[in-house]
Amino acid sequence: MLAERVAAMRAEIERELVACGRAPESLAILAVSKKQPLAAIREAYAAGLRLFGENYLQEAAEKFTPLREEGLAPQLHFIGHLQSNKAAKIAALVDCVQSVDREEAAIALGRGAERAGRTLPVLLQLNISPSERFGCLPDEAPRLAERIRAQAHLRLDGVMAVGPITADRGAISAAFEQAAKTFALVGGTTLSIGMSGDWREAVRAGSTMLRIGSALFGARPS
Ligand SMILES: *Cc1c(COP(=O)(O)O)cnc(C)c1O
């Protein structure tokens, strides 16, 4: 049962937070629902989850538009690769874009937010891993943060990063420490690091938002 997995996961995360001397309220869980059917999202919502992450615009619109029309209030975060030609539609649909990794995409997103008549919260996506294709390199992050802040209709809230795919737990921790250091330079309130396989290292490095998919929903249907 999804509700049981959610409860078990919350308890485990809380134990880790306490072990780090952190307050349980200092961390949010974003349920990554990509490739999961609408029924699973409804179940997660019923279990109390309110933050959801999706990677693809069309899939996100197909699932979350009906939920909103029913009067449910999920907060939708876009965590997939941000294509400039889809930025306007994404800006109109979601509550936050976590994957702003270059100036061109920030400009397109800012224009889309303006057209939608809103100020859109965003995160700067940082690349801390040789196995990750996207994201801005740490050295370039302060400059990109400046460019994002120059967009009147975007509000930069922090940093998102995907950890390295490796069995070396020390390398994962080191990458997350680097993300935390860059987050301190960029500023904001949200450090979105940690997924199903590396959330403990992320919590220890100071994550304020875990993005959890398979550990909550089970393996993604292919
Ligand atoms: C798919 C995805 C996740 C969730 O991954 P799990 O390993 O299933 O928890 C988190 N963040 C991003 C950017 C993703 O694409």
Is 17 contained in some domain? Answer: yes
Distance 96 CA to ligand 1 centre (A): 16
**Residues 145 and 187 sit within 8 Å (Cβ to Cβ):** yes
Q: What's the pLDDT tens digit per position in 112-143?
A: 999 999 999 999 999 999 989 999 999 999 99
Q: What's the pLDDT tens digit per position in 75-104?
A: 999 999 999 999 999 999 999 999 999 999
Ligand 1 pocket test: pick from 30, 79, 193 the residue with the most ligand atoms within 8 Å of its Cβ: 79
Residues with CB under 6 A from ligand 1: 32, 34, 55, 79, 162, 195-197, 211-215
Which pTM was predicted?
Answer: 0.97
Is 109 contained in some domain? Answer: yes
Q: Which segments within the chain are labelled E, that is strand?
A: 28-32, 51-54, 75-78, 96-100, 120-127, 154-162, 190-192, 209-212
**What's the pLDDT score for residue 171?**
97
The residue whose two tokens read 């390199």 is 137
Q: Which residues pair with residue 77 across a beta bridge?
A: 53, 96
Is 222 contained in some domain? Answer: no
**What's the pLDDT score for residue 1?**
85
**Encoded tokens for 157:** 């809230």
Distance 34 CA to ligand 1 centre (A): 8
Domain count, the chain: 1
Is 20 contained in some domain? Answer: yes
Is 173 contained in some domain? Answer: yes
Residue stretches of the chain with pLDDT short of 70: none
Is 60 contained in some domain? Answer: yes
Determine the Cα–Cα distance for residues 43 and 119; give it in Å rounded to an integer.
30
* Atom 13 of ligand 1, nearest CA residue: 79
Is 122 contained in some domain? Answer: yes
Structural domain harbouring 121: 2-217
- Give me the CATH number covering residue 139: 3.20.20.10
Is 117 contained in some domain? Answer: yes
Handedness of CA 183, 44, 172, 99 (dihedral sign): negative
- The ligand 1 atom at the shortest distance from the C-alpha of residue 30 is 10
* Atom 5 of ligand 1, nearest CA residue: 213
